[in-house]
Structure 1
């Protein structure tokens, strides 16, 4: 019998239509089941993520003896100094913070005014932590939920220093010295509140102490101020530190978000907002930072202002920096994600170009390095470089009052920087 003729019979035709009807009725059921399974999977995924976050928060946030509520919304926990995150490190377990080291011999320069340690919003009402404790900005669940990667929370995403700046959207305007052995660096950095237009971009101004080949063995120690909506949830400039011993891959972090930096000061909270800030054609405010290698124990210490010790990076965290640095950089860095297809409007420094000068452009002044004999000395070979001078630029100089200095920064996207 011819099969094609058979399909035309009423019974076969009815059966075909019936099967098509059953299939059409089953589709919404299958689709609904698929949606339920997908929702269940998403719920389990979110539950897993929250569990990971809460476990991480327990590691970061230590038991405290006192909490200070900052006017900007931060919670500052006063933690016993020997319970701080640094001592979670296997090589630091059971230790306590070291005594202050011998400080570098100072090269005389006009400091143009010095500021007290009362430079952070949380201390403006006179609050501080008791002796024997250190202030730590509390990390909250919402901080980690904002992060582009929970696994890498607290680390620079695709961090870079100037030599690698042509990739991953990191742009710089820096002064730098190289070609010698360096045992520290010092500068006064004007503080601004630049606009950051994307949650996952940042704008910072800092000192880099660098050693290694600029490959995967890169060691850096960093300190300065930054605006990072992803990390802090706001647009305040904040005092920060950073370190890495493998080019930002698996080691190091911001502030006290991992074991590493050992804090010794009970009045300065790393990661807390800075106040006041500079204003365009108005008052100018800067912070002085010194990083140097203790000649006796080899640890790298951080000093704020005219002599306030913040803490130190233990020498054992590093490979190349156990000996000395091979380069020092000073300046600004932003991340340009080009999320709208054009250059970002995120500002560097004051958001104004270097040529506008004092009161308008951001600056670094009194740049110095520490030599092999623990002396602070002026720079003899400072070079300046801007990756994208139409977006952010830099102009250096030297005079009797400011020593080595430069103005730097810019607005980002403009008619010359599309």
Structure 2
């Protein structure tokens, strides 16, 4: 994707050249989001590793379809791979929404990909019947306190946010999953990086949906060999009519 598919040289990452216009625009942005990533006001449809304080994960991976669900105002709708231990969280994925801090001018962002800038706009997104995907892998950084060793939880799936009193936005494809990867939002090839540094397929996950009237998730553990491996389908219309 970056530099016509060539990416950056080994050991480097893409950094956007900051212009005067960027700095002026930054002044009109709302305050940065809480870098603790407080999910109290978020609604999720996710799959996660079974809860076990003895879990030791050094990273995770997935391939996710990219969508552009309709959001307004302070709403956002996203797909993420999240790694967590206690209060420390690191996450990667895509997000639809223009009213939140989303680049390296804001605190809390760590550039890890030599190919994709953190504020990259995807000019190709999925449409029902034609999916576009993004491959993500993420390891633990040394900037954390609890995550200086290993994470205990890894999570994949969709997350939306609306301010209190505002209807929930669509998630993923904006439709409930229909068991078709060309129509549904998906996270496929669910993997974790174990304590030995081995990227292994995830055999079992626990699924959770905050509001099953608005969103759903379907789990397919190692349904078929090849591209998808263990995958989940997720999404829903939210409260939008």
Same fold at TM > 0.5: yes
Distance 1:408 1:144, change over 3 A: farther
Match of 1:171 among 43, 67, 73: 43
Deviation of the 1:358 alpha carbon: 2.0
Query: d(CA) in 2 for partners of 1:374 and 1:127?
Result: 26
Deviation of the 1:338 alpha carbon: 4.8
Query: What does residue 63 of structure 2 align with?
Result: 188
Query: What does residue 224 of structure 2 align with?
Result: 400
Query: What does residue 159 of structure 1 align with?
Result: 37
Query: d(CA) in 2 for partners of 1:289 and 1:408?
Result: 17
Distance 1:264 1:383, change over 3 A: closer
Q: Does 1:228 align with 2:108?
A: no
Query: What does residue 359 of structure 1 align with?
Result: 182
Higher RCO (C-alpha 8 Å, min separation 6): 2
Deviation of the 1:275 alpha carbon: 2.7
Q: Does 1:291 align with 2:169?
A: no
Match of 1:372 among 171, 190, 195: 195
Deviations along 1:77-130, whole A, 9 cap, x unmatched? xxxxxxxxxxxxxxxxxxxxxxxxxxxxxxxxxxxxxxxx34xxxx56x89889
Distance 1:325 1:406, change over 3 A: same
| Aligned pairs (5 A) from 1:261-410 | 261=110, 265=114, 267-281=115-129, 283-292=130-139, 300=140, 313=141, 315=142, 317-339=143-165, 343-344=167-168, 346-355=169-178, 357-398=180-221, 399-401=223-225, 402-410=228-236
Which runs of 5 or more structure 2 residues have no equivalent in the other structure? none
Q: Does 1:210 align with 2:65?
A: no
**Any conservation in 2 of the 1:391–1:414 contact (CA below 8 Å)?**
no
Deviation of the 1:231 alpha carbon: 2.8
Distance 1:318 1:413, change over 3 A: same
- TM-score for the superposition, normalised by structure 1: 0.50
Deviation of the 1:400 alpha carbon: 2.1
Q: Does 1:146 align with 2:29?
A: yes
Distance 1:280 1:383, change over 3 A: same
Structure number with greater Rg is 1
- TM-score for the superposition, normalised by structure 2: 0.83
Query: What does residue 16 of structure 1 align with?
Result: none
Q: How many residues align?
A: 231
**Any conservation in 1 of the 2:201–2:230 contact (CA below 8 Å)?**
yes
| Aligned pairs (5 A) from 1:85-164 | 117-118=1-2, 134-136=14-16, 138=18, 139-147=22-30, 149=31, 153=32, 155-156=33-34, 159-161=37-39
Deviation of the 1:320 alpha carbon: 1.2
